[in-house]
A and B are shown apart, each in its own frame.
Chain A
Amino acid sequence: MSKSLHLNGEIWTVSELGEQALALKSDRSDVPIGSIHQAANILEKASIDDIVDIIQSYESIVLVYDRLLGALNEEIQAIEKVCADILINQSSPQRYEVPVCYELGLDWDEVEGHAGLSREKIIGLHISGSYTVAMQGFIPGFLYLSGLSEKIACPRREEPRTKIPAGSIGIGGNQTGIYSLESPGGWQIIGQTPISFFDASKTPPSQVEAGDKVVFKKISEEEFQNLKRDSA
């Protein structure tokens, strides 16, 4: 069972993702990630009663309630009513410049081999990109970044690593990403940043929001160690 919801100029198909969650999927198959972010932004600002979590991904937004869902059309009306009064956030997204030491990459052989390019060329393409935080997930503070040059896209490792250092910068398919915490993972690691985007002792644990912009800056191993020491 599904019904439609109008939000931010898009039509969303709404369906139940279990007894306590609604999934909103755009009717457009090629919906830009920016539209997802805007809609999620409106939903957050609306502070709709009983919604405790808003999860966004590439094609859909999920609203998690702390109660059983009522009739679908009533839930949709309640959302539309509150959201109608919310103005889209016109303030520009945050922009982060992330220093990366590419010497600390672990998978250069695979990435060079797959791209058929030299390491310098790949680093150049990685740095010249402008990225958008598509979403966070997989592990707390993992930033999925869209905007990677297709020339340096690379499939994930066949055997994921059991441990990847915090701050690792990886390539997984046509995305690049940042591991904020040490964790297992299957992305090809091409560098490491000394800065962290996740601090569990803070509420909220991260300043980064989906839709924010990221650019990379190349640093030497010495600069990496200095920055790491300063932030410790």
Chain B
Amino acid sequence: MNGSLKVSDGGMLTTVQDAGRVGYRKYGVPVSGVMDDHAYSLANWLVGNEAGAPVLEMTLQGGGYHFNSDAIIGISGGEAEIMLNSEQEKANETLVVYAGDVLKIGSIKRGCRVYLAIRGAWDVEKIMDSYSTYLPAGFGGIQGRKLTKDDSLNWQIENLDAEIREVPKKLIPHFSSKQRIRIIEGPEWDWLSEDQKAQFLKTEFGVSSNSNRMGIRLSVKKPIILENREMKSAPVVPGMIQLPKGGKPIILMKDAQSVGGYPRIAKVVDADLWRLGQVWTSNRLGFKIISMKEAKELSVFQKDKL
């Protein structure tokens, strides 16, 4: 069966994303993919899609969707008002929608990204093995751009026999405005003096509105200025915390380049990276350093949980 919807409101920044694009970083192609992997997995699970399926990632604001056909959908991530026609609906539960229904997702009150999964195989062209939209170079997803009013989304679905699922409470995150993010040492961690290390670990950072899918820019009253040392461009991965000359750290996210020229003082542990996909300017961030062994254990624990 064919299914489709028409976008009645594209929101602020809504893109098609998936688990990411691997294998092309040597050409300077970032991994991209969803900013919040946890919410992404939940949304996909709600509709019974396989891991790696595409979703819509909405940023700060939701959007409006007119369904032309019956569909099984799942919404997860940041907290926003969800209206199906005139009924209020819940996130983190499988929803059944019918042809003619209008889904409206309001502004995101807690967290900053909401994910919409739709059961079926989406008619979106894969670019370099991935559905993910990479805006800076304009490829992937819907013509390499964000969704706008009157865009259509089409999919193929085998059947509409929905298994209604509900995300267990313990898997639904609490979006606290203050977060302590766990990190491990980066290659240039020892470029910080002992005092600077202590300062970094006790500072409560703000989040700049210049943040985006490439990186979360932290704001701080007292910048951490490193002694001037020559740094040759070196490989980076998402989660890496760079410290540029100005002394304000940047946490690299999914659209980050593969090579960077700033000292890599630390890296957010993989198990906490999804949390950063939900932080915005009202958040305060602190860091706690842990060992690589602990970081790996957290990754295993997180996989088991899902």
Contacts and interface: CB of A to CB of B under 8 A. Distances in A.
A58 B136 CA distance: 25
Interface string A148-178: 0000000000000000000000000000000
B237 interface: yes
Contact of B27 (A18, A21, A59, A205): A205
B1 interface: no
B296 interface: yes
Size category of the binding interface on chain A: 35 or more
B187 A68 contact: no
Contacts of B24: 53, 140, 204-205
B127 A200 contact: yes
> Which of A68, A137, A206 has the most B CB atoms < 10 Å from its CB?
A137
Interface in B230-287: 232-235, 237, 239-240, 257-259, 267, 269-270
Contacts of B187: 15, 17, 23
A136 B292 contact: no
B303 to A, nearest CB: 9
Contacts of A88: none
A139 B235 CA distance: 13
A142 B128 contact: no
Nearest to A134: B233
A111 interface: no
B288 interface: no
Contacts of A66: 22
Contacts, number: 123
A94 to B, nearest CB: 14
Interface in B112-136: 127-129, 134, 136
A69 B292 CA distance: 10
A48 B185 CA distance: 26
B25 interface: yes
A19 B269 contact: yes
B72 interface: no
A179 B233 CA distance: 17
Contacts of B296: 19, 68-69
A228 to B, nearest CB: 19
B27 A57 contact: no
Interface string A57-79: 11111101010110000000000
A117 interface: no
Contact of A55 (B25, B134, B140): B25
A139 B136 contact: yes
Chain A, interface SS category: loop
Given A23-B235, A59-B234, A64-B237, A138 B257 contact: yes
A224 B124 CA distance: 35
A53 B26 contact: yes
Contact of A62 (B129, B184, B235): B235
B55 interface: no
Interface string A88-111: 000000000000000000000000
A25 B138 CA distance: 34
A136 to B, nearest CB: 4
A216 interface: no
Given A19-B296, A55-B235, A183-B136, A138 B25 contact: no
B168 interface: no
A56 B28 CA distance: 10
B137 A53 contact: no
B233 to A, nearest CB: 5
A231 interface: no
A57 B237 contact: no
B292 A19 contact: yes
A39 interface: no
A23 B144 CA distance: 32
Nearest to B129: A203
B137 A200 contact: yes
B27 A204 contact: yes
Given A21-B237, A62-B235, A64-B22, A55 B128 contact: no
A195 interface: no
B237 A210 contact: no
9 contacts: A18-B184, A57-B235, A57-B259, A69-B296, A140-B28, A141-B27, A200-B137, A201-B139, A205-B24
Interface of B: 22-30, 127-129, 134, 136-140, 144, 184, 187, 232-235, 237, 239-240, 257-259, 267, 269-270, 292, 295-296, 299-300
What 6 pairs across the A-B complex have the smallest Cβ distances? A200-B139, A62-B235, A137-B259, A55-B235, A137-B28, A52-B22
